[in-house]
């Protein structure tokens, strides 16, 4: 998977994940990638700084797990759980049928593939790290 920072014709910046650069090219040429703010399908890659970590930034397992827990907590507190209705709700938002809002829920591997193939921006929530002993 690759994450691109994109910008629409109206200068709105957003991020989206793709299987690779070929998937990005295919989805944008087919008009499947749209700005979550205005719906424009005129999008292009924006200048991005590479995410190269410094050697001094390495984390131990405890710090890493704490960061994963903090990220999970933030996602859960800032999104609405729509359960098994996630694929349908995400698709309806992507197609402009309902207003965009932060949601989370469940999807089968097949549903995830269909959504990513259709350019619907989704990302998994990492599993809860193991409890400390």
d(CA 21, CA 26): 9
Q: pTM score, two decimals?
A: 0.53
pLDDT tens for 7-24 read 999 999 999 998 888 989
Over the stretch 99-119, which tens digit does the pLDDT of each residue have?
999 999 999 999 999 999 999
- Residue-wise pLDDT for 48-104, tens only, equals 666 665 666 677 888 889 999 999 999 999 999 999 999 999 999 999 999 999 999
**Which pairing describes strands 2-8 and 43-45: parallel, antiparallel, or unpaired?**
antiparallel
**In this structure, are residues 119 and 32 in contact, taking their beta carbons and an 8 Å threshold?**
yes
Domain limits of the chain?
2-45, 58-117
């Amino acid at each position: 998977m690759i994450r691109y920072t994109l910008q629409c014709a109206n200068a709105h910046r957003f991020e989206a994940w793709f299987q690779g650069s070929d998937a990005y090219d295919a989805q944008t040429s087919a008009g499947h990638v749209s700005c979550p703010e205005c719906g424009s399908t005129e999008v292009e890659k924006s200048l991005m700084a590479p995410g190269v970590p410094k050697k001094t930034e390495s984390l131990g397992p405890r710090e890493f797990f704490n960061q994963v827990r903090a990220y999970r907590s933030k996602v859960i507190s800032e999104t609405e759980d729509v359960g098994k209705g996630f694929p349908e709700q995400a698709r309806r938002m992507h197609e402009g049928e309902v207003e965009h809002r932060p949601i989370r829920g469940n999807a089968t591997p097949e549903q995830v593939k269909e959504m990513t193939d259709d350019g619907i921006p989704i990302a998994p929530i990492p599993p809860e790290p193991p409890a400390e002993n």
